[in-house]
Structure 1
Amino acid sequence: MSAQSTTLELDAVVLGAGVAGLYQLHQLREQGLNVRAYDAAGDVGGTWWWNRYPGARFDSEGYIYQYLFDEKLYKGWSWSEKFPGQPEIERWLHYVTERLDLRRDIRFSTRITSADYDEERGRWTVRTDKGDVIDTQFFVSCAGMLSAPLTNQFEDQDSFRGQIVYTSSYPEGGVDVAGKRVGVVGIGATGIQVIQSIAHEVGHLTVFARTPQYVLPMKNPKYGQAEHDWYHGRYEELRKTIPHTFTGFEYDFVHVWAEKTPEERQQILEEIYQDGSLKLWLAGFGEMFFFEEVSEAVSEFVRDKMRARLKDQHLIDVLVPTDYGFGTHRVPLENGYLEVYRQPHVDLVDVKDNPIARFRPEGIELTDGTVVELDVVVLATGFDAGTGALTRIDIRGRDGRSLAEEWGRDIRTTMGLAKHGYPNLLTTAVPLAPSAALCNMTTCLQQQTEWISGAIRDLRQSGKAVIEPTAEGEEAWVAHHEEVASATLVPRTNSWYLGSNVPGKPRRLLSYIGGVGTYRQKCDEEAAAGYPSFERR
């Protein structure tokens, strides 16, 4: 690489300006590093910038989906409700950005296209779609677990005369659906939020449903001064407990199935269900992840709740899961979602056995030849989770090895924090670390960025310049990850948790599910022992 081609020399490049990227930028700057963050979005927010579709909101309580490293920062923001919506979340991230003065070191609307490691120099050459060439010691990915949307999945999409929108890149000004024939493809967490939010506006709504979801009703009270004082006053308590729970939420598993009578179990399930949160999933009976009998009992409890609301047998057949257990797949919170289907202007189309064949100029054609005429189609068709954000960048490690090619064969990392063969590439929200599945994202992202910051600090203080996982260290972590995963029922369920939604993707549980607190402890032990799973040179 000639000196003439280098436009900028940095200590670290941070990919992404969402929850992880903002905090990572702040921490590395505090160490005195010359660092810059890059994001393809037009402003800060990450997933909360891109996902501005109708109904987008937290399903973690707002007061725990916050940074806990600064008491003044935490107490300086007050949420208007328990589960805030996207516009308010975006405003919160702007608040954080301004308070920490981060904007001056972020480049927006700039996509990193390649990163090449020069082993002789021990540095990365990072290139962007704006023509930037950056020479950097560290390349830190904060690109997000769910940031690589699946697009153009259907034949002849371009032939459709109406409007097609993806939830993952929803227009900032919204979409006019008033009085129109609207189709929604996908009934995962995102599709559910869209459906319940636009049903009252459209002229006619057709939902194309393939995989039924267990859903839990959300109770979302408004917050005033009393509630703000309540959770602001819990800062120390939350800071000390949340990072060590199983899922990074404030609540944890406390009930033991075998110790309760059938009547007591039913009473506990009912009480937790009425909480109107993810508590039934994340703080009910932990045995449901390990034992078929418990899984079936809890699953049937939720099915009964759903059947009672749906009433109609066709709706029950399409929308109530029966072939996988509650909690082994992402559990969405909803508000009046099931009742939408009982409205006369709403049609539910089961595409499990009669899939979408292609788009036509006038709408969507099913395999049996049925054509559904539409004006607007909303595609809530998911992401290439965990790996997609980085495999869409041409990342080359030692000896020119390709990350996309390696992850295309087998998805492996060391603690989800680094990858053998890619020195000084440090990662958050990639496979084999807790993220998205059974994890409050801000809890996990704070921990991962703090570990990365600590590893860089320790490396510099030791007078060394390069950190890379050893092959043995990576093998040991993959083996541990697989042992933990295989002890549960989760890998038996086809979902994006295992990459099942992406044809040809290697099957592996993407998120570590040994517990957020356990993972933190293992990471802390790794650092305290002098990074035995890594080579530092």
Structure 2
Amino acid sequence: MGSIEVKKVEELDALIIGAGFSGVYQLKRLRDGGYNVKLVEAGSDYGGIWYWNRYPGARVDSHAPHYQFSAPELWQNWHWKQRFPDHTQLRAYFRFVAEKWDLRKDTYFDTYVSSAIWDEAQYKWIIETKDGRTFRTTFFLAHTGISASRQYPDWKGIDSFKGLIVHSSYWPHDEPDLKGKRVAVVGTGSTGVQLAHTLSTMVGDLTVFQRTPALPIYMGQVDYADDEEPVPKSELAKFFKDRSEGYWGFDFGFLNKGTFEDTEADRLANYERLWKKGDFTYWLGTYTDMMFTEEANYEAYKFWRAKTRARLNDPRLKELLAPTKQPYPFGCKRVPLERGYFEMFNEPYVHLVDVNETPVVEVTEKGIRTTEKEIEFDVIILATGFDAVTGGLTKVDIRGIGGRSLKDKFQERGPTTYCGISIAGFPNLFFSYGPQSPAAFCNGPTCAELQGNWIADVMNNLRRAGIRSIVADEASEKDWIEHVEKVAYASLLPKAKSWYMGDGVPGKPRASQMYLGGLPSYQEKLKSCASNGYKGFHFEGLTV
């Protein structure tokens, strides 16, 4: 008789999904705390979204030195080449971090988690991967981020195209030759803006398909010499402290006054000053009421519109790209940064297709047919985004108490979390940079450290107390959801169709995906929860 193969189960204190900022920081923090912990990553190296997003023009829009960890052993020995580093620099940074923190020995790459089932009898998560690994772990830390599940347009014939068709986040590692090619970019979010402008200098003919106009602002890029730093090393300790206390996880926040407290002349001068900073300041460092009242928001839009129209030659394009009638509240869809996006439309080989005027009928073997005509392409690039915020969690079959599916729970009304870090009915499951946390309204590394520290502290407290599981209460979760929605609906955020509200994915409930109340308020909530004996959670399974 043949031998029976016994499936090996790896026993852990914690399993982390995701090798971006959150997962990497959590691995470091827990390993330093003496935990038996492993990290699994679907990609082949560290970087999270920056492992996948390597399309032409891909770069971060949080300006240096914000977009890095605050650990002195890292920043003392790291130099950014640009104010807004591109994807190659970011992957180099992650390799540097991995070496400094010796992370590879505890990481499994090319490993995709397919299911995670809570075993109520053992107080353990049973986690399986597509390549056959099984883990039994006390804590399941799903640091999947907000952009882990791609979104594709539901177009007839999309599989029939004979050229290259690719989602922007699956860009080929062997760079395709696009010189002289006819290229379509579908989408005008942050990715589409970056892609289109970069490709406009490379390809023979470029067509941008726009559903909703982007409202990007000026990127003030800077190339640093080897002896230049965005902030002197001697000031970085204070810089990172200020970053952790900022409203958005940056070292700046709103002005301490409303839009109409200034005269028109002073207001325009203020807008110009903020604009010239060339980062998110015009969006997130402006008047306190900009994202909360329509009148204040329109003033910000008028300034943006005048700036933009002055850069376009064609009256039709002025109206499509910077409409007279404000298309949605400024800043309530993701604001890209750009440096030449609008000027490219003045070139004769760059075209704009507004799919509201001429909708896409189908994809053909040769290109894309709209209601007006068929346009032939060699390459179609889908900058169509993600099932944002929740998609990274729901694409894994996660089942909690009583076998309840997390995907089903979220499908009923949208994300349901307690403090944007845990979910009622799912013990010992924590995540960072996810739904109903500051996430997309917070600088990534800032959030990764804040939430990663809080999660580690929870685990330390349970270990000291000999408690096997912690789970959020349904009532506390309901209170947090109501608070998140109340803050969102006090703003103009719901007046725009965006992934901030779960729009763009058919069948996804419309609800606020983000906490808009700012990092200080969020930190205070987490501190209050912990200092009150983790109020809003209950505990099970004493071991002593």
* TM-score range normalised by the length of the shorter chain: over 0.9
Superposition deviation, residue 526 in structure 1? 1.0
- The equivalent of 2:151 in structure 1 is 150
Whole-angstrom CA distance in 2 between matches of 1:84 and 1:292: 34
Partner of 1:224: 225
- Cα drift, residue 189 of structure 1: 0.4
Name which of 447, 461, 465 aligns with 2:464: 461
Structure 1 CA distance for aligned equivalents of residues 535 and 6 of structure 2? 39
Letter in 2 for 1:166: H
SS in 2 for 1:286: coil
Q: Deviations over 1:482-514 (max 9, x none)?
A: 111111011111011111110110111111000
1:500 to 493, 498, 503: 503
Match of 1:535 in 2: 538
The match for 1:339 is 343
Matches within 5 A, 1:166-177: 166-177=167-178
Aligned to 2:333: 329
Aligned to 1:267: 269
Runs of 4+ with deviation above 3 angstroms: 2-6
| Paired letter, 1:139 | F
Partner Cα distance (1:123, 1:4) in 2:
20
- Partner of 2:391 in structure 1? 388
**Partner deviation per Cα, 1:367-403 (whole Å, 9 max, x = no partner):** x151110110011000001111111111110101001
Task: Name the CA distance, whole Å, in 1 between partners of 2:10 and 2:26.
Answer: 20
Partner in structure 2 of residue 182 of structure 1: 183
1:353 is matched by which residue type in structure 2? Answer: E
Q: Is the 8 A contact 2:418 2:477 kept in 1?
A: yes
Counterparts of 1:332-481 in structure 2, within 5 Å, are: 332-366=336-370, 368=371, 370-410=373-413, 411-436=415-440, 438-481=441-484
Letter in 2 for 1:405: D
Kept in 2: contact 1:432–1:512 (CA 8 A): yes
Deviation at 1:135, TM superposition (A): 0.6
Normalising by structure 2, what TM-score?
0.96
Moved more, 352-361 or 324-333: 352-361
Alpha-carbon shift at residue 272 of structure 1 (Å): 0.8
CA-to-partner distance for each residue in 1:391-446, whole Å, 9 max, x for gaps? Answer: 1111110101001111111221001110001001111122100111x221111122
Residue identity opposite 2:96 in structure 1: Y
Deviates more, 1:134-143 or 1:254-263: 254-263
Shift of 1:228: 2.1
How far 1:363 moved relative to its partner? 0.4
The CA deviation at 1:201 is 1.3
Contact 2:188 2:212 in 1 (8 A): yes
Q: CA deviation digits over 1:61-118, x for unaligned, max 9? A: 12111111x2121221110111111000100011001100001100001100000001
The one-letter amino acid of 2:365's match is P
SS of 2:229 mapped into structure 1: helix
- 1:239 shift after superposition: 2.2
Equivalent position SS for 1:318:
helix
Letter in 2 for 1:327: G
- For 2:22 and 2:468, locate their aligned partners in 1 and report how far apart those are by CA, in whole Å: 23
Does 2:11 match 1:9? yes
Q: For 1:330 and 1:170, locate their aligned partners in 2 and report how far apart those are by CA, in whole Å.
A: 22
- Is this contact kept in 2: 1:123–1:138, CA < 8 A? yes
**Does the CA-based 8 Å contact 1:63-1:231 persist in structure 2?**
no
Measure the CA separation in 1 of the matches of 2:313 and 2:419.
46
Report how far residue 224 of structure 1 moved.
2.6
> Number of paired residues?
533
Which amino acid in structure 2 is aligned with residue 21 of structure 1?
A: G
Q: State the AA in 2 paired with 1:262.
A: E
- Matched with 1:59 is 61
CA contact (8 A) 1:40 1:110 kept: yes
Residues 512-531 of structure 1, C-alpha deviations (whole Å, 9 max, x = no match): 00001211121111111110
Whether the 8 Å CA contact 2:13–2:37 is kept in 1: the answer is yes
Which aligned pairs between 1:122-271 and structure 2 lie closer than 5 A? 122-151=123-152, 153-225=154-226, 227-228=228-229, 230-256=231-257, 257-271=259-273
Deviation at 1:255, TM superposition (A): 4.1
> Any unmatched runs of 5+ in structure 2?
none
Which residue identity lines up with residue 518 of structure 1 in the other structure? Answer: S
Q: Which residue of 2 aligns with 1:299?
A: 301
Contact 2:83 2:230 (C-alpha < 8 Å) held by counterparts:
no
Using the alignment, how far apart are the partners of 1:20 and 1:161 within structure 2? Answer: 39
Residue-by-residue CA offset, 1:283-310 (whole Å, 9 max, x unaligned):
0112011111101111111011111111
Q: Structure 1 residues 250 and 227, CA, compared in 2 at 3 Å: closer, same or farther? A: farther
Percent of residue pairs identical? 38
Shift of 1:342: 0.7
In the alignment, what sits opposite 2:108?
A: 107
Contact 2:81–2:226 (8 Å) recurs in 1: no
Residue 41 (1) aligns with residue 65 (2): no
Give CA deviations for 1:342-385 in whole Å, capped at 9, x if unaligned.
Answer: 1011111111232222110010011x151110110011000001
Q: Secondary structure at the match of 2:159?
A: helix
Q: Which deviates the most, 220-229 or 175-184?
A: 220-229
Letter in 2 for 1:127: E
Q: CA deviation at 1:5?
A: 3.7
Q: Which amino acid letter does the alignment assign opposite residue 217 of structure 1?
A: Y
Query: Secondary structure of 1:67's partner?
Result: coil
Distance (whole Å) between structure 2 residues aligned to residue 452 and residue 6 of structure 1: 28
**1:176 aligned partner, one-letter code:** D
Letter in 1 for 2:358: N
8 A contact 1:162–1:374 mirrored in 2:
yes
* Conserved 8 A contact 1:52-1:170: yes
Letter in 1 for 2:380: V
Counterpart of 2:519 in structure 1 is 516
C-alpha spacing 1:279/1:3, structure 2 compared with 1 (3 Å): farther
**Equivalence for 1:72:** 73
| C-alpha displacement of 1:129 | 0.7
SS at match of 2:450: helix
Per-residue CA deviations over 1:157-196 (Å, capped at 9, x if unaligned) read 1111111011111111222111111111001100110111
3-state DSSP of counterpart to 1:234: helix
Across the aligned residues of Structure 1 and Structure 2, the Cα RMSD in angstroms comes to: 1.5
Unaligned 5+ runs, structure 1: none
Q: Distance in 1 between matches of 2:256 and 2:227?
A: 30
* Residue identity matched to 1:422: F
Instruction: Tell me which amino acid in the other structure corresponds to 1:382.
Output: G
Note if 1:89 corresponds to 2:93.
no
Tell me, yes or no, if the aligned pair for 1:244 and 1:518 is still in contact at 8 Å: no
Structure 1 residue 333: Cα displacement: 0.4
Whole-angstrom CA distance in 2 between matches of 1:213 and 1:479: 30
**Does 2:310 align with 1:308?**
yes
**Aligned equivalents of 1:460 and 1:526: distance in 2?**
18
